[in-house]
Amino acid sequence: MSVSTTSHRVEFQDRAKKALQDASLQRALAKARGGFVDHRQDAIDALPEFDAIRDAARDIKNHVLANLDGYLELYEQQVIENGGQVHWARDAEEACQIIAGICKDAEAKTVTKGKSMVSEEMHLNPVLEEAGITVVETDLGEYIVQLAGETPSHIIAPAVHKTREQITDLFHEHHSPLGYTDRVTQREALVNEARSVLRERFVSADVGITGANFLVAETGANVIVTNEGNGDLTSCLPRVHIVTAGIEKIVPSLDDLSVLLRVLARSATGQEFSAYTSLYSGPRRPGDMEGPEAYHVVLLDNGRSRLLGGQYQPMLRCIRCGACLNHCPVYGSIGGHAYGWVYSGPMGSVLTPLLNGFDQSLDLPNACTLNGRCKEVCPVRIPLSDLLLKHRVEQHERRLSPGFGRFLLGAWAWLACRPRLYQGVMALPLRVMHMLGRRRGSLTWLPGASGWTGSRDFPAPARRSFMRQWRSRKVRS
Amino acid sequence: MTETQIDSPIKVGLFVTCLADLMRPQVAFAAVALLERAGCRVRVPRAQSCCGQPALNSGDRASTMNIAKGVIRAFSNDDYVVVPSGSCADTLINKYPDLFRHDVKWAGRAQDLADKTFELTTFLVERLGVELEQVSYPGVCAYHDSCSGLRELAIHQQPRALLQQVQGLSLREVDDGSACCGFGGLFSVKYPDLSGRIVGDKCAQIAQTEADTVLGGDLGCLLNIAGRLRREGSDLKVFHVAEVLAGMTDGPAIGEAESEDKA
């Protein structure tokens, strides 16, 4: 155990360090950061009742989670009534097998995908590719990431870590063989070229796989929200439509849906509404102009039901808006890939240990300043920083945190409970540090905290502590 | 509890905080001066060291509760407890009651302490309605709002209201001012690369205000910011808000060399 936890710790720290030194990544992150924050603020300033809507959104999700079994069954009944099928997947592997099976039955050669973080969670693409199927991501960001052979680095902006120059290179490399030999560099030209390439793929796909922002229990509809319309082309054009979603995506009714939609886009991109909000309820009915012949919903548990009724249940309220990532100073410094799994930022740091195992991600809950901005901006009021602290408590109680750190902390805490002794013991190091730092006013190197002094000075302490000075003042007076 | 009465001064216990105690005693002296000038009788119990945040934020609840019990005992006879730090005040006000939620013996005592504990600027503005005596600071100041104070205790207007009474002082707001400075207690030592990067961003935004002084209400953040500014060779001065309000800015600022070297 200790070996694997140590190596995981080193892995995160290494990835973070590399990310900090990656000039392209830093340029891309710097460009993205302010935009998300400012746009969200503008959208919220324009809606005085935003906080009340957030409360309502939280209450709806809490109600669903308290009655999840009933709503899931209701949802399943509605999907079946609409002519679709619901498949229950305990874990990622089972979900991949179900989806691969549906694709095989449909004799699919090409699959288009709308953006689905759940399919990233289950590592679906390699499974389909192994089965000889061509998989095409159709969300522009996901498409870029796929061309680069990478994974999304942000739940709503998958390619936020890429600069325009990098995208230009990728498109030139991958589109030249298709006849797009001009090297396009401007934003609009890049989008048009991707649109043109993807258009072919939409038309020729046998199966379309989308995620779901919400699943409406009373109607059996899945709801997808996009700004590109790719989700609609993925849902409607192929013969078979497969929806992948976590079991927590349920909302009871269309009224509830409208409440959640009002907080989603504002929190995510600062839009009042995304460009496309689409509800799909099943396969094509007699007389319908378009739509798939078959409609499947694959509902993934993958550890979610374990969280029900426990201290981390609020995490299941998450609607994947990305606001916590956009407001997190750690995410803003290193981007999503350093987190090591599909979910990043504060929501990822809470969720990854819960779904993947505590000892696999010991660093994530600790690599946080507990500044609370994530909690402040969450549209469904998930106390993210409090949940990260609960992780730390659990790590401490299960003795997963590093032994030497625990020893030092224990020794310090023992001393802190004995103030008179503490004041005496602290006097000597204080005096030494004061002497060393007196000339400059600060120390450029500090034993035991060389990390701190690697990037900043350590201001020199006073010669004598306040408590000592106060006592002599009192004695004198 | 008695409100302001001329013949019976308000009894205030000062929770010094470990950083003011060890790193910047002048912050605690400034707090004492401000409270005494406002007519309070200030007591500094000897039985105090730290509020326990390093243990709390490391997930060590048992150690934190041991430390907390000492703090609760030390201040049990004071009318009020005043803390020159938003983050330590938040620990006493919000975290202690939560820690002892299921403890029959201590829950009530933790809540009593929470109910009478105030962050310094909040106490001066909201409890005492202080009007500062003649105090001046000729400078352009950027105020850094610390995260716990801002988000858990809604400390934002209080220090600004007081600083407006300081002659010669003008205030500038930092762009994206509610963003963290990257201190995070032990975070700054456990993840120094991340912490250093975040404080670098913060200092760049502070520099954009063209202020000559950075003020704040939490020494953790101020040590972090001052340390970074020193490393960058910046001549921005860093003070705790209490030092400015008490007129104790003649000596070196945080991280600054003593004046004999400057002269």
Query: Contact B227/A462, CB-based, under 8 Å?
Result: no
Contacts of B44 in chain A (CB under 8 A): 467, 470
Q: Residue A6: pLDDT above 80? A: no
Query: Contact B23/A451, CB-based, under 8 Å?
Result: no
Contacts of B261 in chain A (CB under 8 A): 439, 441
How far off is chain B from A366, nearest CA to CA, in Å? 7
How far off is chain A from B129, nearest CA to CA, in Å? 27
> Strand, coil or helix: what is B242?
helix
Q: Which CATH architecture has domain B10-126?
A: 3-Layer(aba) Sandwich (3.40)
Q: Please tell me which of the candidates B192, B228, B261 has its beta carbon nearest to residue A451.
A: B192
Residue-by-residue pLDDT tens, chain B, 263 positions: 444 445 689 999 999 999 999 999 999 999 999 999 999 999 999 999 999 999 999 999 999 999 999 999 999 999 999 999 999 999 999 999 999 999 999 999 999 999 999 999 999 999 999 999 899 999 999 999 999 999 999 999 999 999 999 999 999 999 999 999 999 999 999 999 999 999 999 999 999 999 999 999 999 999 999 999 999 999 999 999 999 999 999 999 999 998 754 43
Query: Residue A329 in contact with residue A40, Cβ under 8 Å?
Result: no
Q: Residue A80: pLDDT above 90? A: yes
Q: What average pLDDT does range A434-446 have in this prediction?
A: 92
Class level of CATH domain A47-305: alpha beta
Q: Please tell me which of the candidates A37, A397, A457 has its beta carbon nearest to residue B176.
A: A37
Query: Residue A471 in contact with residue B45, Cβ under 8 Å?
Result: no
Q: Please tell me which of the candidates B22, B60, B180 has its beta carbon nearest to residue A369.
A: B180
Query: Contact B151/A366, CB-based, under 8 Å?
Result: no
Q: Provide the CA A313 distance to its chain's centre, in angstroms.
A: 17
How far off is chain A from B261, nearest CA to CA, in Å? 7
Q: Give tens-digit pLDDT for A315-332.
A: 999 999 999 999 999 999
- How confident is the prediction for chain A on average, in pLDDT? 94
Q: Give how far Cα A239 sits from Cα of A108, A202, A206, A301, Å.
A: 9, 11, 6, 27
Parse chain A into domains and list their residue ranges.
Answer: 47-305, 418-476
Q: Give tens-digit pLDDT for A142-195.
A: 999 999 999 999 999 999 999 999 999 999 999 999 999 999 999 999 999 999
Q: Please tell me which of the candidates A373, A393, A442 has its beta carbon nearest to residue B180.
A: A373
Parse chain B into domains and list their residue ranges.
Answer: 10-126, 132-262
Question: Rounded distance, CA B29 to CA A131, Å?
Answer: 73
Q: Please tell me which of the candidates A368, A409, A464 has its beta carbon nearest to residue B187.
A: A368
- From B151, which residue of chain A is nearest by alpha-carbon distance? A372
SS (H, E, C) A269-329: CCCCCCCEEEEECCCCCCCCCCCCCEEEEEEECCCHHHHCCCCCHHHHHCCCCCHHHHCCH
B17-36 residues touching A, CB cutoff 8 A:
18, 20-26, 28-29
Percent of chain A at pLDDT > 90 equals 90
Q: Give tens-digit pLDDT for B89-132.
A: 999 999 999 999 999 999 999 999 999 999 999 999 999 999 99
Instruction: Report yes or no: B223 at the A interface, CB cutoff 8 Å.
Output: yes
- Model confidence at A477, pLDDT cuts 50, 70, 90, reads low
Instruction: Report yes or no: B200 at the A interface, CB cutoff 8 Å.
Output: yes
Q: In this structure, what DSSP letter does residue A449 have?
A: -
Contacts of B70 in chain A (CB under 8 A): 417, 419
Q: Which CATH code for domain B132-262?
A: 3.40.50
Q: Please tell me which of the candidates B50, B57, B199 has its beta carbon nearest to residue A416.
A: B50
Both structure tokens of A389: 């602290």
**Mutation test of the interface with chain A: which of B17, B22, B176, B235, choosing the one with the most A Cβ atoms within 10 A?**
B22
- From A458, which residue of chain B is nearest by alpha-carbon distance? B227
Query: Contact B192/A454, CB-based, under 8 Å?
Result: yes
* Closest by CA position to B118, among listed B177, B66, B158, B164: B158
Q: How far apart are the first and last CA of chain A?
A: 59
Query: Contact B194/A16, CB-based, under 8 Å?
Result: yes
Amino acid B2: pLDDT: 44
